[in-house]
A and B are shown apart, each in its own frame.
Chain A
Amino acid sequence: MTAVTTTDPVLTRPPRWGRVRQVATRPASVLAAGVVLALLVLAALGADLLRPDTGGVALDEVLAPPSLAHPFGTDEIGRDVLALSLRAMRVSFAISLLAAVVALLIGVTVGVLAGTLGGWVDGALMRMVDFLGSQNHFLFAILLVVLFRPALGAAAAVCLSVALSHWLVLARIVRGELLSLRERPFVAAAVGGGATRVRLVVRHFLPHLAPAIAVAMVLLLPHAIFHESALSFLGLGLPPHQASLGNLIAAGQRSLLAGAWWISLFPGLLILAACVAFGTLGEYWRDRHQPRWRGELEL
């Protein structure tokens, strides 16, 4: 949850049932997105409990269509696609979350530097952000993965490449917010009270930026999930033994000719569900707390 401003009428109401009402009065689509997301995360975390094993190699069950025993069917060596999907979803979520956190760190650092130092530092950093924004971030991500996979390993290289191609929005938002924060009276008061630049950033700026950063994070996650799975789909991401949803879809492509549509279909549906859920929640929080970011924070 993002921090809520004190002027929020729901929060200033007496607490009894307040929380429940606050949740229950949200639009149905937001509630549905929350439920879907909770289910997906629980399923990913509890993969080992839900489907304890992938069935191993079962040559009598090769490419079996969806059935009660195997709701998502089986793959070309007879493994249960549901079990594979849940584990792959866990990998996808973990990598995407980590990539989003790294992107956040880079973006906030650049944004804070540009917004507080101003002058030529600001000019140079923002020129760089604009230049990178005009370039194709997917080609850039591919180059990064290829260059750094041997040294960092696949998972870290994918994280780095997704993070380095997605921090621009965060830097822009943080800088924009800082420019307006700087003019507020409390900053003058803090400076008058002898606050250093570092103290200003840590005690005064970052707490104000927290809601913006939280919303940006949630809206970044669908992009991270998409880019991670796209890289894995192309064979440039995670190795098959750490399969993410992208790997599964690629594996399904090989079985398409044999008529096995289910191996690609279900992992893709999971990506779609996760991206729609994150997007719906993120946009709802954005519109509720900070409607003026509409232009900058798009799914």
Chain B
Amino acid sequence: MADPTPGAAPARRPASAARIIVRRLAALPFVLLAVAGLTFLLVAISPYDPNSAYTGITGSISEQTRQEINAAWGLDGSTAEQFGQWLGNVAQGDLGHSRLLGGQPVLDEIASRALLSIVLVMIALALVLVGGLVLGVLAAAFRDSPLDWLVRTLSYYGTAAPSFWVGLLLLSVFSLQLGWLPSGGSTDVRSADSGFVDPAHLILPAVTLAITQQSWFTLYVRNTVLEVLRDDHVRFAEASGVRRMAVLTRHALPNALIPFITLTGSHLSELIGGAVLAETIFGWPGLGRLTVEAALAVDIPLLVGITLVGSVLVVLGNLVADLLYRVADPRIREGLT
């Protein structure tokens, strides 16, 4: 991160925070339209029939009743008409009613569950950040030592191990065998004054989710730090007598933070998928568990609603990553690259 050489004009005007926000938010309707179109197309070509799914009766009602229900629900129009009608409803925030939850509006249920998932993903990201920085820097600092070997091996197997299985192992050891941590739910239902989230209940699902993303980040930090340690400015710092610890934390670490933000942005949609598995194992009542409940009950409006909201969350997450990127990387802030 050298000072800009005098006379060298910035290649591009730095994108202001406001412009980043406007650009991302302007893309949001198009992303939503594309997701809506894709999911509607899939539902339309699948054999799923809303009429029999919602009345729960096949064959036992007369054709006339069937058509009356179809007409009442707007299912008698062409596919294009139905899509237009549905899109109009979605634009007004009406994602339909859930069959699983006794006719509740889909959006209300998703909204009430989303926060729990966001909390879980945030805590998991914090664990990934701290764990990756500590392990990655240690592995790089003690390169080719047994510690380095251990970190690399665990990271390699960590990518290949199925996350739901790792979650079950953690559950089995820490909650069932040792009895240290609760095995499910977000709060202790036995205590009357249990708050929104009990931290003890958060640990196992968050760790399970973090493990799925830990490996690539740890290895990335290790490689970045090894690269930075060979850099001239680090060599200069070492030569002028700065202690090794200070070299690592002051010069090597900030460089490893930048890829964390970029890569977290691109891994965000994977985290949502990981949350589905982690929440199911530990009974965490967030969006992921709702997804599985909806899927098992063939509750298509709820499932489609979750898909749409998931896309919005990914776009918003990328927006946050873009903004943080500016904070972490002075080159972007000054428009040098």
State which of B140-148, B165-173, B236-244 sits at the interface with chain A. B165-173
User: Does the CB pair A143–B42 fall under 8 Å?
Assistant: yes
Asked if B107 is an interface residue, CB under 8 A from chain A, the answer is no
- Report chain B residues within 8 Å CB of A256: 168, 171-172, 176
Once bound together, how far apart are the Cα atoms of A138 and B11, in whole Å?
A: 39
Q: Considering only CB atoms, which chain A residue lies closest to B167 in the complex?
A: A253
Asked if B75 is an interface residue, CB under 8 A from chain A, the answer is no
Choice from B156, B160, B161, B276 contacting A138 with Cβ under 8 Å: B276
Choice from A142, A145, A229, A259 contacting B276 with Cβ under 8 Å: A142
User: Does the CB pair B165–A234 fall under 8 Å?
Assistant: no
- Report chain B residues within 8 Å CB of A151: 46-47
Q: Given A252-B168, A265-B169, do A136 and B43 touch, yes or no (CB 8 Å)?
A: no
User: Does the CB pair A253–B295 fall under 8 Å?
Assistant: no
Q: Considering only CB atoms, which chain A residue lies closest to B166 in the complex?
A: A268
User: Does the CB pair B300–A139 fall under 8 Å?
Assistant: no
User: Does the CB pair A146–B298 fall under 8 Å?
Assistant: yes
User: Does the CB pair A135–B269 fall under 8 Å?
Assistant: yes
- Report chain A residues within 8 Å CB of B164: 230, 233, 249
A27 CB, min distance to chain B CBs, angstroms? 14
Asked if A193 is an interface residue, CB under 8 A from chain B, the answer is no
Q: How many A-B residue pairs have CB under 8 A?
A: 124
Asked if B162 is an interface residue, CB under 8 A from chain A, the answer is yes
A199 CB, min distance to chain B CBs, angstroms? 34
Asked if A276 is an interface residue, CB under 8 A from chain B, the answer is yes
Q: Mask for A73-91, Cβ within 8 A of B = 1, else 0?
A: 0000000000000000000
User: Does the CB pair A264–B269 fall under 8 Å?
Assistant: no
Q: Considering only CB atoms, which chain B residue lies closest to A269 in the complex?
A: B165
Asked if B82 is an interface residue, CB under 8 A from chain A, the answer is no
- Report chain A residues within 8 Å CB of B296: 234-236
Asked if A243 is an interface residue, CB under 8 A from chain B, the answer is no
Q: Which of B35, B168, B176 has the most CB of A within 10 A?
A: B168
Asked if A261 is an interface residue, CB under 8 A from chain B, the answer is yes
User: Does the CB pair B291–A268 fall under 8 Å?
Assistant: no
Q: Mask for A115-157, Cβ within 8 A of B = 1, else 0?
A: 0000000000000000100111111101111111011000000
Once bound together, how far apart are the Cα atoms of A234 and B273, in whole Å?
A: 12
Q: Mask for B251-291, Cβ within 8 A of A = 1, else 0?
A: 00000000000000000011011001100110000000001
B314 CB, min distance to chain A CBs, angstroms? 7
Asked if B292 is an interface residue, CB under 8 A from chain A, the answer is yes
Once bound together, how far apart are the Cα atoms of A276 and B153, in whole Å?
A: 11
Interface residues of A in 264-281 (CB under 8 A from B): 264-265, 267-268, 271-272, 275-276, 279
B132 CB, min distance to chain A CBs, angstroms? 17
Q: Given A139-B307, A146-B300, A276-B156, do A271 and B162 touch, yes or no (CB 8 Å)?
A: yes
Q: Mask for B179-198, Cβ within 8 A of A = 1, else 0?
A: 00000000000000000000
User: Does the CB pair B46–A139 fall under 8 Å?
Assistant: no
- Report chain B residues within 8 Å CB of A261: 169, 172
Q: Mask for A238-261, Cβ within 8 A of B = 1, else 0?
A: 000000000001001100110101
User: Does the CB pair A257–B176 fall under 8 Å?
Assistant: yes
Q: Considering only CB atoms, which chain B residue lies closest to A298 in the complex?
A: B216
Asked if B89 is an interface residue, CB under 8 A from chain A, the answer is no
User: Does the CB pair A139–B273 fall under 8 Å?
Assistant: yes
A196 CB, min distance to chain B CBs, angstroms? 33
Q: Given A138-B276, A146-B298, A249-B168, do A272 and B159 touch, yes or no (CB 8 Å)?
A: no
Q: Given A143-B303, A230-B277, do A259 and B176 touch, yes or no (CB 8 Å)?
A: yes
Once bound together, how far apart are the Cα atoms of A259 and B178, in whole Å?
A: 12
User: Does the CB pair B277–A233 fall under 8 Å?
Assistant: yes
- A interface, CB within 8 angstroms of B: 131, 134-140, 142-148, 150-151, 222, 226, 229-230, 233-236, 249, 252-253, 256-257, 259, 261, 264-265, 267-268, 271-272, 275-276, 279, 299
Query: Could you show 26 A-B contacts with beta carbons less than 8 Å apart?
Result: A135-B269, A136-B273, A136-B307, A136-B310, A136-B311, A138-B273, A139-B272, A142-B295, A142-B303, A143-B307, A145-B295, A146-B295, A147-B47, A147-B300, A151-B47, A233-B277, A249-B165, A249-B168, A252-B168, A253-B168, A268-B169, A271-B161, A272-B160, A272-B162, A275-B160, A279-B159
Which 9 A-B residue pairs are closest in the complex by CB-CB distance? Answer: A138-B273, A268-B165, A147-B46, A275-B160, A136-B269, A151-B47, A276-B160, A146-B295, A261-B172
